[in-house]
Structure 1
Amino acid sequence: MLLNHQAGLEYDGRADSYQITSWSAGENYIKDYNQWFLEQQKEFLKGRDNFSNFLHFMGHLAHQCDLILSSSELMSYLQQESYHLAILDAFNPCSFLVAHALGVPYVSFYPGALNGPLFIGLPSPLSYVPVFNSELSDSMGLWGRVKNLLLALLAPIGEEMVSAKFREVGKSHFQPSPALSDLYNGAELWAFNTDFSLEFPQPLMPYTLCVGGLLSKPANTLSQELEEFISVWGESGFVVVTLGSMLSSVPLEDLLVEMNAGFARICQGVVWRYHPQRWPSHLDPAPNVKLMEWLPQNDLLGHPKARLLVTHGGQNSILQAVYHGVPVLGIPLFGDQFDNLVRVEAKGLGLCLKPKDLNRDSLNSTIQKLIGDDRFKASAVHLSKIHHSQPLRPGPRLVNWVEHILHSGGGKHLRPVSLQQPWYQRCLLDVAFVLSLGLLGIVSLLGLGWAAVRGRRGHKVKLK
């Protein structure tokens, strides 16, 4: 999002109060990319997620970035608009390169938890702050801390492998090419899509802001069609099932058969986001299942008869469940979803079921446990109370800080000098080196003195 004097502070949510500029990578590339990603989604649903596939995905983003920066028409148009500030999707490094090309200050919005980006210098004591993708909570035993330390040592290597994909793009378009770490540290403000009703407590810096729950809001009235379906199940209520926009139409028949059979065994209705036209023609949905190509998730979770959310573990879905006080059954597929659901379990909001363990029996028993055990609902309501009782809602909080950045001429006053220090200075390794040399010098002098004393004694003995 790019803000100027016309669109910036006058945005009021109406479609005509801001301008949308679209760009396409071309039909042929989009067709090939979608085919590749469809196969990836099938692998995710089979429980096969690995770093190699993630690197391949980031390679696609780097290629798209090269196409964007090479589009003279698009870049010229953006430069002519004279934007005052950019709000970036910090998951995609290309956002930083585009902002650098335009020469505008920027606010970074990271769509996940606080432990995602490494470059921004947040204090992260490894004894209780889990490393990204560690699947650890803040309550670690000895071996958990060992694992966390080892992953922390390996994490910069993974970050470097991702950065290398975009470094080549930078070399093609900038002289000299900016380092991604410098671009990350150059953000005026970092906003995270998380909230301490869900997030593990950890130190923050003045330039960090938690605004989790931007998509959560009071529920609107459901359509008559949905209300009629929900009313059939009476006080048993209903379950909302959504595995994300990308996975609502993946034709993985074995998994659909098992999930459909598992849902058939519960006494609640099931509103399932899945494209009806892509549902296997020979598989009849269970009598209590309603398939929908799109569903009003926030409004459904806000309904008084909503009993459970079955989700892939996306941050927005979990935060909507927290907002409305609905327990969660998580089926993590890729990326940060595994860590997100560790937080769900640690907070007592719900349970996690890995795709490789998903079958009709495990699905049925886990749903029965989550709905039958009042402790999950009580935890959900408690977290919802924490989330609602903050002094300012996430949207106005973010707007106020963006206005502060605009009015104060940037966020330099929020960024500590440590962001400009080399890593060895931040870790005081240079100080440790100097102190070690000093200690070594003292030990050496003592050793030489001791050797001299012994030498004199030996000489006297010989004379005698």
Structure 2
Amino acid sequence: MGQLAHQCDYLLGDSELKESLKHEKFDIALLDAFNPCSFLVAEWLGLPYVAFFPGNLLNVHQIALPSPLSYVPVYRSQLSDHMDFWGRTKNVLMFLCSSIAERHIQAPFHSVIQKHFRTGVQPSLSDLYRKAELWAFNTDFSLEFPQPLMPNTLLVGGLLSKPPEPVPQDFEEFISKFGEAGFVIVTLGSMVSSVPLSELLQEMNAGFALIPQAVIWRYHHSQWPEDLQPAANVKLVEWLPQNDLLGHPSARLLVTHGGQNSLMQAVYHAVPVLGIPLFGDQFDNMVRAEVKGLGLALEATELRREGFAHIMKRLITDKQYKTSALALSVIHRSHPLSPGQRLEMWVEHILQSGGGAHLRTYSLQQPLYQQYLIDVILILVASLLLLLYTLIKIGRTVNRMIRNTGKLKSN
């Protein structure tokens, strides 16, 4: 976030760029909601905006979505919607700490706001999040836990998924060598493919050597250890057509870091997954994949070749994972409109109706203590305690009067 704030300061300091954007007279902005600078640019330009978040429904209380803590997991809790007592306790405590985390995340942008916005009109990121005409999330209920949504919330998971095209000839020739055994696709994200992780690579490579499937592994050759020879069934590539490979009839498994786009493509093409989450929302994403029966997760620090190979064989041979993947694919693909069409339709609706005010609830203007009725609960509890105190005082007074009356009679 510090780096994004630095880039934002540089961008907002480019007067020529800002003026050229202003002269374009845009009708609306579609923002990458992961980067807070997107909101600041739209605010500086005075544009209404639709916020697109590239992950699942995380930290939705920031935009006043109802998020009952009894069954809506908090970000990084690694909980499902089925929580026992200790799970609910953990979820509540993490929610209470989340406001501290949010302030820490937003802090690098405070100086940017003070520098580039006039005093008196300096926005807060929290206000800008709530100001969005529409929020679109890269998920849907094939993979997400059921939870309440508001009219200005849209689920468009699977934007990158589509019917497969034929894969390049060199890929097809490699796959065909392994016949009915099929192949495994391996992609751990662009960041991990650009850094050396020698011990992890060695264990994964040795684990792949223990399975009969072909392995197509996306990894930058320049970062591959010179002393590590890829297994005979492994094809290392710097780029792969992931959507087309997942849609290939011989695809048996996706080994992934648990990125949202990869999981949604696996759901679309009904391919089981083995997740190795590394950072961010990937841990929560894999909890959802496991609960839904799409696959299993394995911690990178615990990955050993024999166990790695065993889990891959289990996911490929145990039909329950393929069956679950097919059921999730039906849920995901049976919507009458594609994710792209849904997003396009709602953006058009916002433009034609002059904004999304009619979709935003009043809760966006309420502080947390009002949303969660904390003030009402405190007043009711205080009133009850006052009533009990009054009744006790009256009871003691009456009791004392009765005792005094009895003593007078006996005298």
TM bracket (short chain): over 0.9
Show the 5 A alignment for 1:32-43. Answer: none
Query: How far apart in 1 are the matches of 2:53 and 2:158?
Result: 13
- SS of the residue corresponding to residue 63 of structure 2 reads coil
Q: Does 1:171 align with 2:114?
A: yes
- 2:193 aligns to what? 248
Mean alpha-carbon deviation: is it higher for 73-82 or for 294-303? Answer: 73-82
Contact 2:134 2:152 in 1 (8 A): yes
Structure-2 separation of matches of 1:208 and 1:416: 11
**Local SS of the residue matching 1:190:** strand
**Cα distance, 1:449 vs. partner?**
2.6
2:293 aligned with 1:348: yes
| Deviation (angstroms), 1:453 | 2.6
TM-score, scaled relative to structure 1: 0.85
Distance 2:319 2:387 in 1: 66
CA-CA distance at 1:246 after TM superposition: 1.5
Is the aligned partner of 1:121 residue 2:64? yes
Between 67-76 and 434-443, the greater mean CA deviation after superposition: 434-443
Q: For the residues of structure 1 that align with 2:383 and 2:85, how far apart are their CA atoms?
A: 34
User: What is the deviation of 1:239?
Assistant: 0.4
Q: Aligned partners of 2:305, 2:249: CA distance in 1, in Å?
A: 27
Identify the residue that residue 44 of structure 1 maps to in structure 2.
none
Q: C-alpha distance in 1, partners of 2:389/2:181?
A: 79
2:82 is paired with a residue whose SS is coil
1:259 correspondence with 2:259: no
2:171 to 226, 234, 248: 226
In structure 1, which of residues 67, 70, 75 is the aligned counterpart of residue 13 of structure 2? 70
- Alignment counterpart, residue 290 of structure 1, candidates 235, 260, 267: 235
Match of 1:91 in 2: 34
TM-superposed CA distance for 1:459, in Å, is: 4.7
1:49 is matched with: none
For residue 153 of structure 1, the aligned residue among 96, 100, 108 is 96
Match for residue 449 of structure 1?
Answer: 394
What residue in structure 2 maps to residue 53 of structure 1? Answer: none
Q: Does 1:397 align with 2:342?
A: yes
Describe the SS at the equivalent of 1:119: helix
Structure 1 range deviating more: 248-257 or 372-381:
248-257
1:61, distance to aligned residue in structure 2 (A): 1.4
The change in CA–CA distance for 1:249 and 1:164 in structure 2 (over 3 A counts) is: closer
CA–CA distance in structure 2, aligned partners of residues 98 and 173 of structure 1: 10
Tell me, yes or no, if structure 1 residue 299 matches structure 2 residue 244. yes
Give ranges in structure 1 of 5+ residues lacking alignment: 1-57
Matched, 1:209 2:125: no
Deviation at 1:126, TM superposition (A): 1.4
Q: Pick which of 137-146 and 303-312 moved more.
A: 137-146
* Alpha-carbon distance between aligned partners in 1 of 2:103 and 2:159, rounded to the nearest angstrom: 31
Aligned length, in residue pairs: 407
CA distance in 2, matches of 1:228, 1:71: 50
Shift of the alpha carbon at 1:441? 3.6
* Aligned partner (choices 430, 435, 443) of residue 380 of structure 2: 435
Specify the SS of the correspondent of 1:155: helix
**Letter matched to residue 271 of structure 2:** V
2:52 is equivalent to residue 106 of structure 1: no
Q: Which amino acid letter does the alignment assign opposite residue 224 of structure 2? A: W
Worse overlay, 414-423 or 270-279: 270-279
* Contact 2:60 2:67 (C-alpha < 8 Å) held by counterparts: no
Which position in structure 2 is the counterpart of 1:40?
Answer: none
Distance (Å, rounded) in 1 between the aligned partners of 2:71 and 2:376:
26
Q: Structure 2: how far apart are the matches of 1:118 and 1:432?
A: 20
Between the aligned partners of 2:239 and 2:58, the Cα distance in structure 1 is 31
How many Å apart are 1:458 and its aligned residue?
5.1
1:323 positional shift: 0.5
**Measured at CA, do residues 306 and 446 of structure 1 come closer, stay the same or move farther in structure 2, by a change above 3 Å?**
same
Q: Secondary structure at the match of 2:189?
A: coil
Q: Kindly provide the amino acid, as one letter, of the partner of residue 87 in structure 2.
A: G
CA–CA distance in 1 between the matches of 2:82 and 2:385?
Answer: 39
* Counterpart amino acid of residue 123 in structure 1: P
Measure how far apart 1:116 and its partner are: 3.4
Distance 1:248 1:67 in 2: 28
> C-alpha distance in 2, partners of 1:448/1:142?
38
Aligned counterpart, 1:5: none
Once residues 197 and 392 of structure 2 are traced to their aligned partners in structure 1, the CA distance between those partners, rounded to angstroms, is 73
Aligned to 1:60: 3
> Aligned partners of 2:386, 2:209: CA distance in 1, in Å?
76
1:271 to 210, 216, 220: 216
Name 2:266's counterpart in structure 1.
Answer: 321
Q: Deviations over 1:418-437 (max 9, x none)?
A: 11012111111222233234
1:65-113 alpha-carbon deviations (Å, 9 max, x no partner): 1221122122122122111111111111111111111110000101111
Deviates more, 1:276-285 or 1:140-149: 276-285
Residues 172-207 of structure 1: CA distance to partner in whole angstroms, max 9, x if unpaired? 222232122111110000000001111111111111
CA contact (8 A) 2:184 2:215 kept: yes
TM score, norm. by length of structure 2 = 0.95
Alpha-carbon offset, residue 460 of structure 1: 4.1
Distance verdict in 2 for CA 1:281–1:437, change over 3 Å? closer
In 1, distance between residues paired with 2:385 and 2:59? 40
Please say if 1:380 is aligned against 2:313. no
What is the rounded CA distance, in whole Å, between the counterparts of 2:242 and 2:352 in structure 1? 37
Q: Determine the C-alpha separation between the residues in 2 that align with 1:390 and 1:429.
A: 39
User: What CA distance in whole angstroms lies between the structure 1 residues aligned with 2:364 and 2:174?
Assistant: 55
Local SS of the residue matching 2:232: coil
- Alpha-carbon spacing, 1:261–1:450, altered in 2? closer, same or farther (3 Å): same
State how far apart, in whole Å, the 1-side matches of 2:155 and 2:203 are.
Answer: 38
Asked whether the equivalents of residues 61 and 67 of structure 2 are also in contact (C-alpha less than 8 Å), the reply is no
Q: Which sections of structure 2, spanning at least 5 residues, go unmatched? A: none
Deviation at 1:454, TM superposition (A): 3.9
RMSD of the TM alignment (CA)? 1.5
Residue 456 to residue 277, structure 1, CA distance change in 2 (3 Å): closer
